[in-house]
Amino acid sequence: MQALWGQEAQKHNASLQEMSFAQMAAGTPDAVNARNNFKYYPGVGPINSDAAPKLNNRSYTITVPVSRTAKTQNGVLVAMGDQFAGYTLYLKNNHLIYEYNLFGTVYKAESNIEVPVGASTLKFEFKKTGPFAGVGRLYINDTLSGEVAMPQTCRVNLTFESLDIGRDRHTPASKAYEKLGEFPFAGNLQYVAYELQNDQREIAN
């Protein structure tokens, strides 16, 4: 994993020498790491990975209020990564889907119900169950609609790709829409909100 991380770092002009492996896992005390809440609106450009929410080894939610006039209005809600590593939350075939790619190991949750036409609140929740491990859950209007065990998540920065809102720029984070370009969300996206918990150093029983 560290070798793959190094390859990505070299590709994006970063270096493992800038920070030790342990320091990257723990995070750095900068302005981004000090924040627990982030909100992004449609039209925002690519968000540099250094400025994106730091999700390593902590519980968090991603909440996206949307409205649609037809079941055919699908697309990416939020994505960060490429074919090697990253995560994405999107609608396809009228279902809410989350994928987390850990250097080839892909965790995927798909809603067991369809997303209703009209206004709805879509949410992904990662609940930490142990060091760098947890359970991912999908909610549609506060109804639990999908779940996936995530026994191992990344101990360092997962990707150097940008965080994208309402589309997936550059290399797609999922093979499910790799032939659909940026796969922009065709409905109305109100915002994407991250809420992070301060449980990085807690060990679940």
Question: The domain spanning residue 28 has which CATH number?
Answer: 2.60.120.200
> Phi then psi for 155, rounded to 5 degrees?
-90, -10
Domain residues for 140? Answer: 2-196
The answer to the question of residue 204 being in a domain is: no
The answer to the question of residue 95 being in a domain is: yes
pLDDT one-digit tens code per residue, 126-177: 999 999 999 999 999 999 999 999 999 998 878 888 999 999 998 999 999 9
Q: Is the pLDDT confidence value at 8 over 50?
A: no
Q: Is the pLDDT confidence value at 6 over 60?
A: no
- Alpha-helical runs (H) found in the chain: 2-11, 21-26
Task: Give the Cα separation of 103 and 86 in Å (integer).
Answer: 8
Nearest to 121, CA basis, from 77, 60, 62, 63: 63
The answer to the question of residue 24 being in a domain is: yes
pLDDT at position 66 is 98
pTM metric for this prediction: 0.84
Work out how many domains the chain is built from and give that number: 1
Structure tokens at 18: 């800038």
pLDDT one-digit tens code per residue, 59-100: 999 999 999 999 999 999 999 999 899 999 999 999 999 999
pLDDT at position 157 is 79
Structure tokens at 83: 């074919």
